[in-house]
Amino acid sequence: DAKTTQPPSMDCAEGRAANLPCNHSTISGNEYVYWYRQIHSQGPQYIIHGLKNNETNEMASLIITEDRKSSTLILPHATLRDTAVYYCIVRLPTGNQFYFGTGTSLTVIP
Amino acid sequence: NAGVTQTPKFQVLKTGQSMTLQCAQDMNHNSMYWYRQDPGMGLRLIYYSASEGTTDKGEVPNGYNVSRLNKREFSLRLESAAPSQTSVYFCASSGQGTGANVLTFGAGSRLTVL
């Protein structure tokens, strides 16, 4: 599975959009991009995933560049409850191993 | 549905003691996983089981054994606990399908080895 690179930390003002980048320059054609988040010491929570097209659900939007070498997770209106560590993972859908890096620690500021 | 249930939530062991962490899922998922998370670190995969009857090593398997008892249950055993195994342990499961291979995590088991 391809490796990912994320900034270690970011801040965002409450109510503003939070844009979390992820670099995955070695991604292969059939690998998906997954995003999870971990709030304090809880188990990680699935947010969204995508292959090529941009995706949106009730939690977030995922923008994948045309060359698929990077992506951005967008939380449209960040709240204090969105303060968490966000993990970007790239893997085959049929793969059996999810490898988490150290993620991005997002702090939403009042 | 309860999702993924882990027991115990907290455990304190002395060096050299053994224990088993239990994990059960009620989502009919084929794959199950054990991760550990040390303070300030990301999750590291210990072992996983792609299906009932199979297990494979992850990134950090040394000092652990696993058993996939049936489709629902996947246990993690520490035969001789060491202080380096002090960590939070997370169990997870995932289903099948191209886009639906998403992990569901348990609440975690916090283990301290003295």
- Which chain B positions have a beta carbon within 8 Å of A36's beta carbon? 103
CA separation for the pair A83, A17 (Å, rounded): 13
B87, B90, B102, best to mutate vs chain A, most A CBs in 10 Å: B102
**Interchain contact B78–A (C-beta under 8 A):** no
Q: How many interchain CB pairs under 8 A, A with B?
A: 59
Q: Higher model confidence: residue B112 or residue A95?
A: B112
Interface list for A 13-32 with B (CB within 8 A): 32
> What pLDDT, on a 0 to 100 scale, did the predictor assign at position A74?
98
CB contact, 8 Å: A42 with chain B? yes
CA A38 to chain centre: 11
Span A42-54, mean pLDDT?
92
Confidence at residue B99, expressed as pLDDT on a 0 to 100 scale: 44
pLDDT in tens, B46-104: 999 988 889 999 989 999 999 998 999 999 999 999 999 999 999 999 876 544 478 89
Cβ distance B97 to A97 less than 8 Å, yes or no, reads no
Tens of pLDDT, residue by residue over A65-83, are 999 999 999 999 999 999 9
Element (H, E) at B76: strand B74-78
Reply yes or no on whether the pLDDT at B1 is more than 90: no
> Does residue A91 or residue A109 have the better pLDDT?
A109
| A46 close to B (CB below 8 A) | yes
Assess whether pLDDT exceeds 60 at residue A89: yes
**Element (H or E) spanning B91, and its range?**
strand B87-94
Residue type at A51?
A: L
Search chain B and give the residue with CA nearest A101: B42
Q: B39, B56 in Cβ contact below 8 A?
A: no
Q: Tell which wins on pLDDT, A2 or A23.
A: A23
CB contact under 8 Å between A97 and B45, yes or no, is: yes
Q: Mean per-residue pLDDT for A51-76?
A: 95
User: Quick check: B31 and A43 CB within 8 A?
Assistant: no
Q: In what order do the strands lie in the sheet with B19-25?
A: B4-7, B19-25, B74-78, B65-68
- Amino acid A99: pLDDT: 79
